[in-house]
Amino acid sequence: MSTSPALRDPATPLWWGTIVLRWVTLAFALGALLVHHSGYDRPGLAWAGFGVMAAWSLVTTLTFARESLRLRSLVVADVVVTCGVMLTSQLVLSDQQFAETAPLVTTVWASVAPLTAGARFGAVGGVLAGLVMAVCTGLARLEVDLDVARDGVLLTASGLLIGITATTARRSQATLAQAMRTEAATAERERLARSIHDSVLQVLARVRRRGAELGGEAAELARLAGEQEIALRALVTTEPSGPADGDADLRAALQLLATPRVQVSGPAGEVRLPATIVTELVAVTKEALSNVERHAGPSAKAWVLLEDLGEDIVLTIRDDGPGIPPGRLEQAEAEGHLGVATSIRGRVNDLGGTSTLETAPGAGTEWEIRLPRPRQRRRGSR
C-alpha cells in the first residue's frame, strides 16, 4: 500500500541527493587514493579506510533510501564513521604529504555527513555536524590553517543550508495538509448545508411562520423553532474551528451562540487563536449571556461584538436589560454566587486579559473583554 503524499517526508529529494553525492565523492576519494598511494606511510590502512567508506556508502544507500529507516542513530553514526575514517589520515599520510597539504583519506566524501544531519535534524543538526567535521579536520591535519578554516566554513554552511531547506519543506507540507483538510471539511459542510436547507431549515421556517400566525402556544413553538433555525444556519455556515490542540477560529465559535435574541458580529475573516483561549472566551461569553437570560427578562436582547485590533482582541457583550443596581455584584459574591467573579473575571485574568463592566439601573450592562494576542500568533499574523 502506497504512502499518502501528505504523509511522505518532503525532504526525500534531499536524502536522495545525499545518496548520489556520497557515491560521487566516493569515486573522487578513490581517484585521490590512486594518485597519492605511493607516498603513503601505510597504504594498507588507506585501502582499509576506503573499504569502510565504500561499505558505509552501501549501508546508508539502503537505509536512507527508505523513509522508515532514516533513524536518528544512523545519522549520528554517519558522522562518527566519517570522523573515524578521517582521523586515520594521521597514520596514513607521510610528513611530506602533510607539508604539501595532500588530501585526507576521506577527501570530499566527508562533506556528506553534515548534509544528512541537516536533512534529518534541521538547521541546528546540520550546523553541529558541520562543526564536528571541522574539528575532526583540524585534528587530522594536526594544525588549523586557512585551508582547515575554509573547509570548516563550507561544511557548516552546507549543513545549515540543507537543514533550513528540510525544515522549510516540512513546514510547507504541514501547511498544505492543513489547507487540504480545511478544504475537505468546507466541501462536506457545504454539502450538508445544501441538504439541510432543502429539508430541515425549510420545515423550521414554515413552523416559525405558521406558529406566529396562530398565536398562543403555537407562538411559543414558533419562537423555539426560530431559535433552532438560527442556530442550525450558524452551524452549517461557520468555518471549522480547528483542532483542539492547535489553533481555532474565535469568530466561528462565537457565531454558534447566535439566537433570535443574541446578535453576534465580528470581522469578515478568521480570528485564529490557540484553541484553549478560544474555549475560555466562549465560556466567558456564555456566562454573560446566561446572566442576560436569567436577570434581564424574556424580552431583553444581547449583542456580541468581536474586534481584532492586531495587538489585542476585544470582545464586547452588551444587553438592553434593566442593568445591575450598585452593590449587587458584591452582595452576590458575598452570598456565594461567583458567576461574575469566577466564570468571567477569573477566566479573563487567567488568560492575562482585562474585563470591564459598565452598567447602571435602566441602562443595561456591557462587558468589555480585552486580551493581548499571544506573541507567537502575533508574529504569524504580521
Per residue in 53-80, pLDDT (tens digit) is 999 999 999 999 998 899 999 999 999 9
In the predicted model, what is the mean pLDDT of residues 149-155?
89
Task: Count the Cβ atoms, other than its own, within 10 Å of residue 174.
Answer: 12
Task: Answer yes or no: is pLDDT of 382 > 60.
Answer: no
Across 204-208, average pLDDT: 76
pLDDT at 233: 66
Distance between CA 7 and CA 180 in Å, rounded? 12
The total number of residues shown for the chain amounts to 382
312, 306 Cβ separation under 8 angstroms = no
The dihedral of CA 360, 364, 370, 371: what is its sign?
Answer: positive
Residue 198: pLDDT over 80:
no
Give the chain's mean pLDDT: 82
Structural domains of the chain, with CATH: 5-174 (no CATH), 241-382 (3.30.565.10)
Which grid coordinates are listed for 78?
554517519
How far is Cα 301 from Cα 284, in angstroms, rounded to an integer?
Answer: 17
CB 103 within 8 A of CB 119: no
